[in-house]
A and B are shown apart, each in its own frame.
Chain A
Amino acid sequence: MSENVVILGAGSGIARAVAQRLAARGCRLLLCGRDADELERNAADLRVRHNASATAVPFDALDFDSHAPFWENCLQQCDGRINGVLLCFGTLPDQQQCQRETASLRHAFDVNLTAAASVLHPIAAHMESQKSGWLAVITSVAGDRGRQSNYVYGAAKAGLSTFLQGLRNRLQPSGVHVLTIKPGFVATSMTEGLLDPKSPLVASPDAVARDIDRAIRKRRNVLYTPWFWRGILLVIRSIPESIFKRLKL
């Protein structure tokens, strides 16, 4: 039987690349996000390339009250059975701007942490009662240690990673699997102009998607992608705070 998968923030570069792989292996996809025209084009692409079933569903992460009805809508479209949810929405704020303006700071936390937590709860409740399913959520290596250059983003993503640890613990008895995805530098529109796409540290969305797809199938708990970030972060985390606070990172 084919899996029904909901992708939140389906317009993002990583989401699009993962959707290609899921559609190629026969998943039925609900593409959820704000820009209806874009998502319809993404859905059409999956239908044309892979003969897959793909539908665009409107979803606004910042409209918290809509999260529960949105999830009901998704369930309805999938005849009550959703096997997996991939959460890809997020925003990379300007650290300096967040230090100056409360609005930017709040927006960064609202999108990256509060909205994700808010929408994950009705989903988790459903999967708990369904006693099966998987949740794959994109956080970031930036959450592993706060650095002066982007600690607002890092703190929000760290919060989300911690939220997922708890959720994984809670859903373990129900057989629901939670995957925390920590990408390093990925060449998407979110990072355009900030990263040199030719640097060996910068991965393509497709390479990251390959890792994510494999981690979902193998029911991994925490994925660093590309793999070498696990080592880099191991080193960064092990630096004593008394030294780390003096570094310019």
Chain B
Amino acid sequence: MTVNQQSLGGWGNCPREACSVSQPDSRAALRHKLHAGHTVIARGLGRSYGDSAISPNGLVLRQTRLNRMLSFDAGTGILECEAGVSFAEIIAAFLPRGWFLPTSPGTKFVTVGGAIASDVHGKNHHRVGSFGNFVREIELLLASGETVRCSPESRPDLFWATIGGMGLTGIILTATFELTRVPSAYCSVRYEKTRDLDHTLDRFVETDNDCEYSVAWIDCLASGRSLGRSVLMLGNGSQPDELPLANRTSPYALPERRTKTVPTWFPSRTLNPWTIRAFNEFYYRVPRRKSALVDFEKYFYPLDSLKHWNRMYGPRGFIQYQAWFPRSTSRRGLVELLERIVDSGRGSFLAVLKSCGAANPGLLSCLDHGHTLALDFANTGSDLRELTCELDRIVLEHGGRLYLAKDALTDAGTFAAMYPRLPEFQRIQQAVDPTGRFVSSQARRLQIIPVLCADSIADSARSERLVAAG
């Protein structure tokens, strides 16, 4: 059986590796491929940033042709679909009927399988937690070829290892999960400028109860007294009677919008410390209305209208660094992290701060009560790893964690210290996949899978690869 060889990376294009890729379009083909490769890893739309859906020695199985919706209960909003269905497809089919995703990351181009494997979260994490909370049942194809159904009630151990489990327990075939009723496809959004980090965190505390959605764009280049100054965006779903008259008859209709595409030849030098500084200053200073009515597309997925925006970072790519801090230490942790980033002079175009709600029992799920900060760094080779090493140390010292869907650089020791439930995960993973058939580059690097400790890639080798990717 022939397969495609192609250079594949995550959304950050760092690292990229030559992988064998196959895109089965039936269960039978998928089963056949499961046994065709030495090891396999499932991949959706490739929106995780790092190396969690690539594997140079194994077979990467794209799930996007296994994208059938199987049943929908219009009374309860429960949808059963295959793992390759994207959030974009769900929105296209169900928003016109008044249903929306219970929580969604900043792009709709993710698959249900990827959303479960990364246990994704969105602007409402402080209220509802991550996507895994809404999953009722998962149908999983195990390494043995056997298909099992698991849920919080039946085989909960396997279920909570699969939620956030980065595809290492098996291939998610189908999932049953809840959609949420929404009054319209619009949000009433309030914009607030904060002076500094304390002010930002205080405003999160004060608004968490009455705002469904909240997120802060943080000026990651502001230092001294302005450290952590932000623009808060606080949103609530709009009732139809809050919409302009013209939209009230069809409250679920989204405005037509043209998408733009970043070309492959986009000069990556456009993003440099000076332009990023100017942008951050501008974004903070630009006068905005205090509140606005914003449609879901623009509110939840502002970057989706710019196709291939990751190309702006050029062929060397970028990493996204997302850290979570527990409530008790988040203020100190964020100050140290931001100070270190300001010192480095490596600003991020978009840095986002979010307050988080309760954790779920997902063994490798990232978020819990506290705050999470996400930023981009262009790949500049080994000095980037030096910086993230220091950032990792700050995160670890404050009892924080890195989010696996973003991670591309950390090492196995740091990862294990951040995720104390890793041995529990490994026990369950071992029971269903004793020979380690499901492996990604990330699983190898972080030794998420125990049997691979021996062939894991050492730190130095990884740095070399990063430099080579340039």
> A residues within 8 Å of B by Cβ?
11, 13, 16, 35, 37-38, 41-42, 44-45, 48-50, 188-189, 192-194, 196-198
Query: Which residues of A have CB within 8 Å of B65?
Result: 13, 189
Q: Which of A35, A44, A188 contacts B69 (CB 8 A)?
A: A44
Query: Which residues of B have CB within 8 Å of A48?
Result: 69-72, 79, 81, 93
Could you tell me which residues of chain B, from 7 to 42, have a CB within 8 Å of some CB in chain A?
22-29
Asked whether, in the complex, the Cβ of B68 is within 8 Å of the Cβ of A41, the reply is: yes
15 contacts across the A-B interface (CB closer than 8 A): A11-B25, A11-B26, A13-B65, A37-B27, A41-B82, A44-B68, A44-B69, A45-B67, A45-B68, A45-B69, A45-B70, A189-B26, A193-B3, A196-B4, A198-B6
How distant is the Cα of A155 from the Cα of B70 in the complex, in angstroms? 39
Residue of A whose beta carbon sits closest to that of B26: A38
How distant is the Cα of A232 from the Cα of B89 in the complex, in angstroms? 35
Asked whether, in the complex, the Cβ of B2 is within 8 Å of the Cβ of A192, the reply is: yes
Query: Which residues of A have CB within 8 Å of B72?
Result: 48
Is B1 at the interface (CB under 8 A from chain A)?
Answer: yes
Query: Which residues of B have CB within 8 Å of A38?
Result: 26-28
How distant is the Cα of A196 from the Cα of B93 in the complex, in angstroms? 31
> B residues within 8 Å of A by Cβ?
1-4, 6, 22-29, 65, 67-72, 79, 81-82, 89, 93
How distant is the Cα of A194 from the Cα of B29 in the complex, in angstroms? 16
Q: Which of B25, B71, B82, B93 contacts A189 (CB 8 A)?
A: B25
How distant is the Cα of A207 from the Cα of B71 in the complex, in angstroms? 27
Query: Which residues of B have CB within 8 Å of A41?
Result: 68, 70, 82
Query: Which residues of B have CB within 8 Å of A11?
Result: 25-26
How distant is the Cα of A192 from the Cα of B60 in the complex, in angstroms? 14
Contacts A49-B93, A189-B23, A192-B22 given; does A44 touch B70 at CB 8 Å: yes
Query: Which residues of A have CB within 8 Å of B3?
Result: 192-193
Query: Which residues of A have CB within 8 Å of B28?
Result: 35, 38
Query: Which residues of B have CB within 8 Å of A50?
Result: 93
Asked whether, in the complex, the Cβ of A194 is within 8 Å of the Cβ of B68, the reply is: no
Asked whether, in the complex, the Cβ of B23 is within 8 Å of the Cβ of A192, the reply is: yes
Nearest CB on B from A243, distance (A):
32
Q: Closest 7 interchain pairs by CB?
A: A193-B2, A45-B68, A48-B69, A189-B25, A41-B68, A49-B93, A44-B70
Query: Which residues of A have CB within 8 Å of B71?
Result: 44, 48
Query: Which residues of A have CB within 8 Å of B67?
Result: 45
How distant is the Cα of A13 from the Cα of B82 in the complex, in angstroms? 16
Query: Which residues of A have CB within 8 Å of B93?
Result: 48-50
Query: Which residues of B have CB within 8 Å of A189?
Result: 23-26, 29, 65
Asked whether, in the complex, the Cβ of B69 is within 8 Å of the Cβ of A49, the reply is: yes
Q: Which of A192, A194, A196, A197 has the most CB of B within 10 A?
A: A192
Nearest CB on B from A45, distance (A):
4
How distant is the Cα of A41 from the Cα of B23 in the complex, in angstroms? 18
Query: Which residues of B have CB within 8 Å of A198?
Result: 6
Query: Which residues of B have CB within 8 Å of A13?
Result: 25, 65
Other A-B contacts than A44-B69, A48-B71, A196-B6, 12 sampled, CB-CB below 8 A, are A11-B26, A37-B27, A41-B70, A44-B71, A45-B68, A48-B70, A49-B69, A189-B25, A193-B1, A193-B2, A193-B3, A194-B2
Nearest CB on A from B105, distance (A):
22
